[in-house]
A = this chain, B = another copy of it.
Amino acid sequence: MTIQQVAAAAGVSPSTVSNLLNGRTNRMVPATKERIERAIAELGYRPNRAARQLRTGRTQTVGLIVPSVGNPFWGAFARELEVAALAVGCNVLLCNSERDPDRERRYVEELWEDGVRGIVLCSSLPTLDHLADIVRRGLRLVTFDRPAQAGDPEEVVSVSINNHVGGFLATSHLTELGHERLTFVSGSLAAVNRTGRFRGFCTALEGADLDPAAMPTWTAGGGAPFGDVEAAQVGRQAAHDLFSGTVEPPTGIVAINDMTALGFCRGLRDQGLHVGKDVSVVGFDDIILAELYDPPLTSVRQPISRMASLSLEEALKEDDREPGRSVLLRPELVVRDSTASPTGATAPVVADEDGVLQ
C-alpha cells in the first residue's frame, strides 16, 4: 500500500495525496479531498514512517530516559508521559540508564540517530558534559528533575519540582512536630535533585534553630553507587547503621525518595522499632505504595502528570526555543501516619481528606 496506489485510486497525483496527509487541505478543492479520503479508507492505507522520516529527517517519537522503571515513581512518570504523547499522536521510546553516564550517552546517541524529536532525561547527573556535543548538534533535550546548572549547554530546558522547597517542607514538618535530631538519608548525593533536597533539609533545620552539622549523619557505604532499584536497600542499610552504632540515633528521618524511605522502615522493623512511634519518616515522590504502606508514609508529592505534559511539550517544540528555560513546580507535603511528635503524641495538622497539607 503506497501513496502511489492511493493516488491512482483517487485519480490524482501523489503530491496531492501527500498534501492531504500533511494537512495542506487548503490547496485542493473539497471534492478532491473527499475522493482521496475515501480511497485511503477503502485501501486501508497508512503512510510508511521510514520513508517519511528519511525524507523529512523528523519522527513522531520522543525518547524517555529514566534511572529505572523498576522504581514505581519512574514507572508512573513514564506512564503519564505516554498518556500525554498519545494525545498528540506521539510514540515514546523508553530507556533505563541506571544513572550510568556511559549508558546514558549511548542511549542518547541511539535515540538521536533514530531521529527522535526530543529526549526527556531523568537521571539528574551533576553535569551534562557527556551529552554536550549532541545537544550542540541540535538535539532537543529536556531534563526532568534537574534544573539547569552552570556549565550546561544553554539549549537545554528543564522541568522539575523545587527540590529545595520539597526538602524544606519535609524537614520543617518534622521540626514542627518537635523533632530535634534529624538525619537525611540518601544514596549517592551526586545528583542535582538530591543536593537540592538536602539543602532544603539544612535550611529547615536552621530555621528551627538547629545546627545541621550537629545532626547524626549517614553516608552510603563506599564502592558501588547504588542504583534506583537498590534504593530500598540503601534505606534498610541506613536504618541498621544509625540504630546500632554508638551515636545517639535520630528521631526523624528525611529520605531521598519513597523507595529509600520504605527500605528504611523495613530496616527499623528489623530492629524491632516502630515507624511513626519510635521514629518518624518522611519520604519523597508519593508513589502509590506510600499510601498503601503500614503505616502509610508521609511524603512530598510531585505533580507528575503536569510535569509529564510539560516535559513532552518542551521535548516536541520545534525551533522556537527559549534557551535555558527552567520550569519549577511546587511540591506538596502529604501527611500520613509515619510521622508524629517524638513524644508519641500526634501534633495537630490541618489536612484535607486526601492528606494534603493545607
Residues of chain A touching chain B, judged by Cβ–Cβ distance below 8 Å, are: 46, 48-51, 53-54, 68-72, 74-76, 78-79, 82-83, 91-96, 109-110, 113-115, 229, 232, 262-263, 265-266, 269, 275, 288-289, 291-294, 296
Question: Could you write out 6 A-B pairs with CB less than 8 Å apart?
Answer: A50-B50, A50-B51, A50-B115, A75-B78, A232-B292, A265-B292
In angstroms, how far is the closest chain B Cβ from the Cβ of A231?
10
Given contacts A91-B110, A93-B93, A263-B292, could you give 12 more A-B pairs where the C-beta distance is less than 8 Å? A68-B79, A70-B79, A70-B288, A72-B72, A78-B94, A91-B93, A92-B93, A93-B94, A232-B288, A275-B294, A289-B289, A294-B294
- For A53, the closest partner residue in chain B by CB is B50
Residue in contact with A71 in the complex, picked from B48, B75, B293, CB distance below 8 Å: B75
Chain B residues with CB under 8 A of A71: 75
A94 and B96 in contact (CB under 8 A), knowing A48-B54, A69-B75? no
The residue in A46, A50, A110 that gathers the most chain B C-beta atoms within 10 A of its C-beta is A50
Residue from A51, A82, A109, A292 with most neighbouring chain B CB atoms (10 Å): A292
Say yes or no: A82 contacts B54, CB within 8 Å. Answer: no
- Chain B residues whose C-beta falls within 8 Å of the C-beta of A269 in the assembled complex: 294
Please give me the residue from chain B that is nearest to A56 by CB atom. Answer: B50
Chain B residues whose CB sits within 8 angstroms of the CB of A50 once the complex forms: 49-51, 53-54, 115
The 4 closest A-B pairs by CB, nearest first: A75-B75, A50-B53, A69-B75, A50-B54
CA distance A351 to B211 in the complex (A): 47
What is the CA–CA distance of A157 and B300 in the complex, to the nearest angstrom? 44
* CA gap between A346 and B232 in the complex, in Å: 27
- Which chain B residues lie closer than 8 Å to A114 at the CB level? 49, 91
The residue in chain B whose Cβ has the minimal distance to the Cβ of A72 is: B72
The interface residues of chain B lying within 8 Å CB-to-CB of A263 are: 292
With both chains docked as a complex, state the minimum distance between the C-beta of A325 and any C-beta of chain B, in angstroms.
28
**One of B75, B275, B294 near A70 (C-beta < 8 A):** B75
Across the interface, which residues of B come within 8 angstroms of A291, CB to CB? 266
For residue A68, which residues in chain B have a CB less than 8 angstroms away from its CB? 79
B293 and A294 contact, CB distance less than 8 A = yes
For the complex, give the distance between the alpha carbons of A72 and B70 in Å: 6
> Contacts of A93 on B, CB cut-off 8 Å?
91-94
CA distance A266 to B336 in the complex (A): 13
Q: Determine whether the beta carbon of A78 is less than 8 Å from that of B69.
A: yes
Could you say which residues of chain B place their CB within 8 Å of the CB of A51?
A: 50, 54
